[in-house]
Amino acid sequence: MKLRILFIGILLLIAALPGFAQGWTASLEWGYTGTIVSSHDYQYTTLEGYHIDNRDTDFRYHSNGYAGIQFGRDFKNGMNLSFCTGLYGIQYEIRSVPVGLRASWAFRRQADMAGWAGLVEAGIGLSDNDFRKNCEYARIGAMYRIPLGAGVRLRFLTALQGSHTHPVPYNPYDDVAVDADHLEYSNRIYAGLTVGIGLEF
């Protein structure tokens, strides 16, 4: 119940904030992320003491969704700096709550005309599962923004997304997941393409 009240409260804040604070922006954004390639590098010791070093790259496509909110401020020259959070899907059973910053800059300065904008976003992804550690992520892309009127803009976004995660490796020799005592390190990078749609207030 608390989560529901928080969620609806955030939506009301998004709608209300730009009306009260000139120059501040709030956005809702959601979309699809296709994870295309992943590369892992992990080292651990088996229960019998053998040292395992495993590195590989695989092209395994996986569909994910994402939903996010951004609170930001407009600066001169069409720049906007926003705080981002939400829920981003990375890979099967891997989700994260991003805490990041997004910088965007409009290529066309007139705010009341449709136009392209570039964006760079980076931050950490808090894991919603204690089993896994947090990750880092970054996006670079572009969005096309259409002013609808009454201070609302519609946004279409496309971006490349990279995530650096630390999954728990599976040890096939002992048929177990590697525990913290046997794991030296685990890194996995996912890369994919994101398309999204959003509303700016």
Contact 183/168 with Cβ under 8 angstroms?
Answer: yes
Tokens (6 digits) for 183: 């794991």
Burial class of residue 165, CB neighbours in 10 A (0-12, 13-18, 19+): buried
Task: Output the smallest distance, CB 193 to other proteins, in A.
Answer: 17
User: Is residue 58 involved in binding other proteins (CB under 8 A)?
Assistant: no
User: Which residue in the set 4, 20, 22, 131 belongs to the binding site for other proteins (CB under 8 A)?
Assistant: 4
- In a 3-state reduction of DSSP, which class is residue 200? strand
- Cα separation, 70 vs 38, in Å, equals 27
User: For other proteins, which stretch binds (CB under 8 A), given 18-26, 97-105, 148-156, 176-184?
Assistant: 148-156
The three-state secondary structure class of 30 is: strand
CB of 183 to other proteins, least distance (A): 22
Identify which of residues 4 and 51 has a Cβ nearer to other proteins in the complex: 4
Tell me which of 25, 26, 27, 28 binds other proteins, using CB under 8 A.
Answer: 28
| Whole-number Cα distances in Å, 40 to 52, 88, 94, 149 | 13, 20, 15, 47
Residue located via tokens 């803009």: 153
> According to the binding rule CB under 8 A, does residue 36 interact with other proteins?
no
Q: Which of 47, 111, 152, 176 binds other proteins (CB under 8 A)?
A: 152
List residues near other proteins by CB under 8 A.
4, 8, 11, 28, 30, 62-63, 65, 67, 87, 92-95, 146-150, 152, 154, 197, 199
